[in-house]
Structure 1
Amino acid sequence: MAQFFLYFRTLIIGALGGLVGYLLNFPLGWLVGAMLSTIPCAMAGVRVPTHWGLRSLMIGTIGLMAGAAFTPAVIGRAGEWAFSLAGVAIYCLIITAIGLFICLKVGKLDRATAAFSAAPGGLSEILVLGPSYGADVRSLSLVHGMRLTVILVIVPIVIVWVGTGNGPTQMNRTLDLSLAMPIKDYAILGACLIVGVIGGKKIRLPGSHLTGPLILSAIVHYFGLTHSSPPQLIVVVAQIVIGTSVAQFFNNTTIRQVLGGLVVGGGLTVLNLGVASLFALAFQTWLGIPFAAGLIALVPGGLPEMSLISIALGLDAAFVSLHHLFRVVLVLVFLPILVPLWIPKTEGVALLR
């Protein structure tokens, strides 16, 4: 019961912060507000735990929404994305190489921690894989947590201001609190969510809590079994839950530790955004892909979070989700192969202080 109260308190703090973010017209205000209200609490030693089962369901809900974008018309264009997917691979190589330099020379991290800090996600997989190769989990949490926080705050603002290059993108400000949707569609999407989350984990899909429901949602939408997406109220709850979960990276951290994480994580964020902007401009110039979609598809801000941003901004969620999934697969395939070649067996682990 006590733990349930803590979960509920975390959600209340996040919801109040999200409401303020929404009222202040922040891009993705519910998500950003939930983060900014719970992170200081975590730093101050206040317990703001996340219910990981609820978070998994909310991430799965984002997967359902992203999967709804995989219509026959979109699938018919998938062949056009081969060059942009190749661009993602080149982008990952560039930012990882430069990121290693930042982590080693600026952050003074050991090789294992530097390698997993510089790698462009997926976030949860990095935090699982890293310690098994000798990386310090607190340093990884701070660096990736800081990078994720800064990206989630900055990217929506950049997209709203800059837009696609043809004028600013407008954030949808309507707030529909109804849960109206046919019972049949609730049943279909609910089955996709539950089977996708459980089945994705069983077969070890990358980012399984999102990709499992996404794949099943894409199938049922492609074949026309449903044309519905989760109601907006559920999406708002998903933003709050995902936003509050970021606070875990800042539990009982000191200002000095956060500043250290900000130096490294901030440096990586500037690198990621700068190089991603150049690639997004190239995508727009040579491939006809809107700048906003290209930027969000490249920036390693987390597969669920960037999918959520693309949905909130009315961008091509199928394009964004596929490119982030490709990035995560690249990292999961090549990082375990390359890191052992990079780390001397006798090297210890350096903490980010």
Structure 2
Amino acid sequence: MASMFSLPSPRMLFAVFLTIAISAAGGGAASALGLPAAWLMGGALAVTVAAMLGVPVSMPDGLRNVVFVLIGMSMGASVAPDSLTLLASWPISLAALALELVIIVAITGWMLTKVFKLDPGTAYLSSFPGHLSFVMGIAATGVGNARQIVIIQVIRILMLTIAVPVGAVFLPIEHFDPPVATAFLNPLQLALLAVGCVVTGLLFIRLKVPAGMVLGAMAAATAAKLGGFYTEAMPGPLVIITFILTGAMIGSRFVGITRSEFVAAAKGGLIATGMTVGIVTLVTLGVSQLVDMPFGQLWLGLSPGALEGMGALGIALGYDTAFIAAHHVVRLLMLSFAIPVVVWWVKRRERLPPP
């Protein structure tokens, strides 16, 4: 019983503080260079490099849940007041999202099988753009090579987190400074909002909603804002802390992956992610001709990155987080149905005699 309440070891605490410090340093450097979403992108890249160099970085599950709540709170507080007026144009982008997912899985799965000679299970589970926990759960049952799958998937998440801010600098992608707030949530409001977000997040987890803690926290924060319980913004320093912690969380996913394993799977992962970025960009260009929204906002909504990363980027770049979150929820639901179907097809294919 005593072990349930044991304090973390000094080594663990040192690793956590070191991880956060590395993320903060990377974010600060990117901010000094004037990059968009600097605290998030710079932190993620710095912690990734540190993890690959063998630095003892760590983000325990308890701290990850804190990050999820902070992201959900920030996304809810950043929801644009006119979000509901954009609903009429969402069916176009949602239809494009469904088409995009089919193209990504089909083309990247084929490429990983034919070019890099991965077995079909590894290739197609690596090609799914999202729902990493579900994908890894299936891989754990013996479908594909779990280590290769996680490397390719984590490369995808990291590259997408970096691609958007870099694209905002070098490409004609609009990004906006978040609205300048004049009033901020006070400590009591923050505490009450956090409690509501945690409770709703736990409820979503119990209901087995994908990304339950993030979506639950955002749902609570959004409902409270639209319900008139608060109009103030999140304090600026807390938003920066959220970005630093999110960057640390993304980068720490490389812990435990050796350099030899990374090199073996990285080429296929980089090419697959590059193909995914290209497909997303082309689909977004098509949708942008039919929908009057910022290209970058559409790109983030259609981008198959992690919800927490894309949501944080949406906040940093001044986009409508309700639009982004809604599309990522729909993507996860689509994948929930698509992944079992493709796995069944892969298993059936493996049982067939060679031609």
Quote how far apart the aligned CAs of 1:170 are. Answer: 4.5
Q: Which of the residues 296, 301, 313 maps onto 1:297? A: 301
Q: 2:291: which partner in 1?
A: 287
Q: Which of the residues 64, 75, 80 maps onto 2:84? A: 75
Q: 2 CA distance for matches of 1:26 and 1:261?
A: 29
Contact 1:27 1:171 in 2 (8 A): no
Matched residue type, 1:141: V
Q: Which of the residues 185, 190, 197 maps onto 1:186? A: 190
User: What root-mean-square deviation, in Å, do the aligned CA atoms of Structure 1 and Structure 2 show?
Assistant: 2.6
Q: 2 CA distance for matches of 1:146 and 1:227?
A: 38
Unmatched segments (≥5 aa) in structure 2: 1-8
Bigger mean CA offset, 65-74 vs 186-195? 65-74
Contact 1:57 1:209 in 2 (8 A): no
SS of the residue 1:109 aligns to: coil
Q: 2 CA distance for matches of 1:172 and 1:250?
A: 31
Q: 1:104: which partner in 2?
A: 113
Q: 2 CA distance for matches of 1:37 and 1:69?
A: 27
1:133–1:336 distance in 2 versus 1, CA, 3 Å: farther
Contact 1:56 1:197 in 2 (8 A): no
1:168-247 map, 5 Å = 168-170=174-176, 180-247=184-251
Q: 2:5: which partner in 1?
A: none
Quote how far apart the aligned CAs of 1:71 are. Answer: 5.7
1:20-48 deviation digits (Å, cap 9, x = unpaired): 22212233222222222222332233321
Q: 2 CA distance for matches of 1:47 and 1:331?
A: 34
Q: 1:338: which partner in 2?
A: 342
Q: 1 CA distance for matches of 2:99 and 2:303?
A: 13
1:41-86 deviation digits (Å, cap 9, x = unpaired): 3223332111221222212222222223556632243232112111
1:34 aligns with 2:22: no
- The structure 1 segments of at least 4 consecutive aligned residues displaced by more than 4 Å after TM superposition are 69-72, 170-174, 344-347
Q: 2 CA distance for matches of 1:231 and 1:101?
A: 47
Quote how far apart the aligned CAs of 1:133 are. Answer: 5.0
Q: 2:14: which partner in 1?
A: 5
Q: 1 CA distance for matches of 2:184 and 2:291?
A: 39
Quote how far apart the aligned CAs of 1:100 are. Answer: 0.6
1:118–1:26 distance in 2 versus 1, CA, 3 Å: same
Matched residue type, 1:148: I
Contact 2:184 2:233 in 1 (8 A): no
1:206-236 deviation digits (Å, cap 9, x = unpaired): 1112111111122112211112343222222
Contact 2:36 2:168 in 1 (8 A): no
1:79–1:70 distance in 2 versus 1, CA, 3 Å: farther
- Relative to the length of structure 2, the TM-score reads 0.87
1:97–1:91 distance in 2 versus 1, CA, 3 Å: same
SS of the residue 1:134 aligns to: coil
Contact 1:85 1:323 in 2 (8 A): yes
Q: 2 CA distance for matches of 1:308 and 1:15?
A: 16
SS of the residue 1:181 aligns to: coil
Q: 2 CA distance for matches of 1:258 and 1:245?
A: 18
Q: Which of the residues 227, 252, 255 maps onto 1:251? A: 255
Contact 1:188 1:226 in 2 (8 A): no
1:326-350 deviation digits (Å, cap 9, x = unpaired): 1111112221233123224978xxx
Unmatched segments (≥5 aa) in structure 1: 348-353
Contact 2:201 2:212 in 1 (8 A): yes
Matched residue type, 1:269: T
Q: 2:157: which partner in 1?
A: 148
Q: Which of the residues 60, 63, 72 maps onto 2:72? A: 63
Quote how far apart the aligned CAs of 1:318 are. Answer: 0.9
Q: 1:350: which partner in 2?
A: none
Q: Which of the residues 92, 95, 100 maps onto 1:91? A: 100
Contact 1:95 1:272 in 2 (8 A): yes
Quote how far apart the aligned CAs of 1:256 are. Answer: 4.0
Q: 1:351: which partner in 2?
A: none
Bigger mean CA offset, 135-144 vs 93-102? 135-144
1:298–1:305 distance in 2 versus 1, CA, 3 Å: same
1:75-101 deviation digits (Å, cap 9, x = unpaired): 243232112111101110111100111
Matched residue type, 1:117: S
Q: 2 CA distance for matches of 1:188 and 1:323?
A: 28
Contact 2:41 2:162 in 1 (8 A): yes
Q: 1:129: which partner in 2?
A: 138
Contact 1:59 1:210 in 2 (8 A): yes
Matched residue type, 1:222: L
Q: How many residues align?
A: 342
